Structure 1
Amino acid sequence: MTDNELRLLMADSVQKCHRAVFDKYCNYVYAIAFRILKSCGSREDVEECVSDVFMKIYKLLDKNIDFADNFKAYIATVTRNTAIDSFRRISLRNSRTAYLDDNTLGELRDSSDLTEKSENKEQSRIILGKIKELGDPDSTIIIQQYYYNRTAKEISKSVSMSAAAVQKRSSRARQKLRSLLTEAGITKEGLI
């Protein structure tokens, strides 16, 4: 989309321009935001980041800023910067110390519960490490499928594959992941 096309759309209707920009770049923005936030955020965090990106872009479109015919690069930069800010905010939120109430203190007193939570956290860290070892696009497919509950059709849009190819890659990636987890000593049935 060139500057001239944007200006013509803006002259016709601001809503049409915003809609055209959203329709054309939504998947692109989502893919960039997901790539940056996949290790710390939820699907809702990624969607909130995408919304923030489009709000920033719409504000700039309304100001008639000259994008020097490189609108896609500008969108990528805004998305990357917004996603990095979100990453920092989410990471900070996830690492903050929570206020302790009586219920929390009771949970902390039970050392077996703490041991189990610690083991689960370590196991989750190992599983995510093994998923990353699969490489892209397999790791992205598995994460979107199991952590974000996305369907093959939804995933296919973000990884530029057909839904059938996503299902096939998912099946092969799960088999490979099972063997990687078995080598790491994680053998729970029904895990993947």
Structure 2
Amino acid sequence: MDEKQILEGIRASQVESYENLIDVYSSYIARVTFKVSSNRLTKEDMEEVCADVFVKLWENRHKLTIKEGSLKAYLGAMTRNHVLNKIRAKGHYELLPLEEDLIEYATPESDLMAKESDDLINELVSALPEPDREIFIRRYFYMEKLSEIAKHIGINPATVGTKLFRGKKKLEQLLKERGECYE
């Protein structure tokens, strides 16, 4: 069953389509949950988040406006938001300075542009000197707390914050030099 059939079946309240959705996307949802939680949730909490994502999708099946080709992105964003809500509820959440909660649904053109942008950002982050590169990756890709990063690298948490600030400014400058928009 392909994505279009799954979506149509779910909108039509077909349990078989819902089961196929779970079969196809459960490992993806689990990986996203694990990555975003960054060891801030227990195994049971992560399992609950995964189940909640599927239940919430089913409960809102009649309101779904997912475009074909966007289901995986939709589920990933939904999972990420459920994980962050769970972390907030448990009191283990530290607000990120990046505006990561804005989600735009993809088109083939935007996918290509995003891939090019991701490649450029990965290239620029990879060019950062150590430990700045590791700090940046741990903070913005693995969502670790400043205190966790500081402990792992063996430096003061305030220094981690300063390095992140300077790293963002450096990346902003490099993106502008290459003619990329930075917001």
TM range (shorter): 0.3 to 0.5
Whichever of the two has the greater Rg, that structure is 1
Normalised by the length of structure 2, the TM-score is 0.45
Considering fraction of residues, name the structure with more helix.
1
